[in-house]
């Protein structure tokens, strides 16, 4: 069966520090991978998605970046965090089309910027 892992579960970082969040998926080949941010009262906002190794699409301009070095690995990074980067970050995977298949989410990382 397929599993998705995200870590860490919670993270407290100072403004201006770097960030690296990792997401891995097991049990499926060539999944579509997604990074979302969920802020209070704002719903799920798609940040990046990837349809294959090295292929990244950005949905929202920001100081975050994403990379997919392996088929099963998706990384969210920042060189300098802003206060506005606080939120609940979720990774998800799907197979097939981008919007016509169920997405399966990890349990997220709660990021607090001080």
Partner 1 sequence: SQKIEQNSEALNIQEGKTATLTCNYTNYSPAYLQWYRQDPGRGPVFLLLIRENEKEKRKERLKVTFDTTLKQSLFHITASQPADSATYLCALGGNTPLVFGKGTRLSVIA
Interface residue list for partner 1 (CB under 8 A): 34, 41-44, 46, 49, 59, 90, 92, 97-108, 110
Nearer to partner 1, 62 or 104 (CB): 104
Nearer to partner 1, 3 or 17 (CB): 3
Q: Considering the complex, what minimum distance in angstroms separates the CB of residue 52 from partner 1? A: 15
Q: Considering the complex, what minimum distance in angstroms separates the CB of residue 107 from partner 1? A: 5
Q: Considering the complex, what minimum distance in angstroms separates the CB of residue 83 from partner 1? A: 22
Residue 84 makes CB contacts below 8 A (sequence gap 6+) with: none
- For 19, 68, 79, 82, the CA distances from 51, given in Å and listed in that order, are 23, 10, 24, 28
- Answer yes or no: are the C-beta atoms of 76 and 15 closer than 8 Å: no
Q: Considering the complex, what minimum distance in angstroms separates the CB of residue 73 from partner 1? A: 18
Nearer to partner 1, 58 or 79 (CB): 58
- Answer yes or no: are the C-beta atoms of 56 and 67 closer than 8 Å: yes
- Answer yes or no: are the C-beta atoms of 110 and 11 closer than 8 Å: yes
């Amino acid at each position: 069966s397929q599993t998705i892992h995200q870590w860490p579960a919670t993270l407290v970082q100072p403004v201006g520090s770097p960030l690296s969040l990792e997401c891995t998926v097991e049990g499926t080949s060539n999944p579509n991978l997604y990074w979302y941010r969920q802020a209070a009262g704002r719903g799920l906002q798609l940040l990046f998605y990837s349809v294959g190794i090295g292929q990244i699409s950005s949905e929202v301009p920001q100081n975050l970046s994403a990379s997919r070095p392996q088929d099963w690995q998706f990384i969210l990074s920042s060189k300098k965090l802003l206060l506005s980067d606080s939120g609940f970050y979720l990774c998800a995977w799907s197979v097939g089309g981008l919007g016509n298949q169920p997405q399966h989410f990890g349990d997220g990382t709660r990021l607090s910027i001080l």
